């Protein structure tokens, strides 16, 4: 007589899916951070006088070139780039850590726990992040998206990850 134990199978499948979701979230995080160039190292190839502006930060007397609209923001202090993190719905804090000059509370928060599903969230809680991603028309700030393009660039890698590994 053979006894089928689907609890062990469900646990194994869930754990494999969890590991792949962690790798997928980390892939998007890397793509996002990689897209943010340093604004102190000069202008990007796309930047022109009309689309980018140079300014000096008063505290550090550091020259910074803003990114042109439609391009990911250039790094000035590093706070936004360091705050981009991922978290899982299981309450796992593994991907919710602060790296570099990010401040406490900047990292993305884990979504509400749902025992039936595993959900990954990638993002930041930096107060100006949403204005950079989508633009802020009352002040004339045009969008400089960084999260959505990173997800788009990582989509093929994520599909491959879930289909083949």
pTM over 0.85: no
Mean pLDDT estimate for the chain: 79
What pLDDT was estimated at residue 132? 92
C-alpha distances out from residue 36 to 40, 75, 98, 114, 137, Å: 12, 6, 18, 33, 22
Phi, psi (deg, nearest 5) at residue 145: -65, 140
What tens digit of pLDDT does each residue of 39-96 get?
545 444 444 445 556 666 666 666 667 788 888 998 888 899 999 999 887 744 444 5
């Amino acid at each position: 007589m053979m006894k089928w134990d689907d609890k062990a199978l469900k646990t194994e499948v869930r754990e494999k899916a969890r590991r792949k979701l962690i790798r997928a979230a980390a892939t998007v995080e890397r793509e996002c951070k990689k897209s943010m160039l340093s604004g102190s190292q000069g202008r990007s190839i796309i930047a022109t006088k009309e689309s980018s502006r140079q300014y000096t930060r008063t505290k550090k007397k550091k020259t910074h070139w803003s990114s042109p609209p439609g391009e990911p923001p250039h790094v000035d202090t590093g706070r936004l780039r360091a705050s981009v993190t991922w978290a899982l719905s299981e309450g796992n804090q593994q991907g919710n850590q602060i790296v570099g000059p990010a401040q406490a509370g900047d990292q993305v928060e884990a979504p509400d726990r749902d025992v039936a599903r595993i959900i990954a969230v990638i993002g930041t809680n930096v107060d100006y992040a949403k204005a950079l991603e989508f633009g802020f028309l009352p002040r004339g700030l045009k969008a400089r998206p960084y999260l959505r393009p990173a997800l788009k660039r990582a989509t093929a890698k994520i599909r491959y990850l879930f289909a083949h590994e």
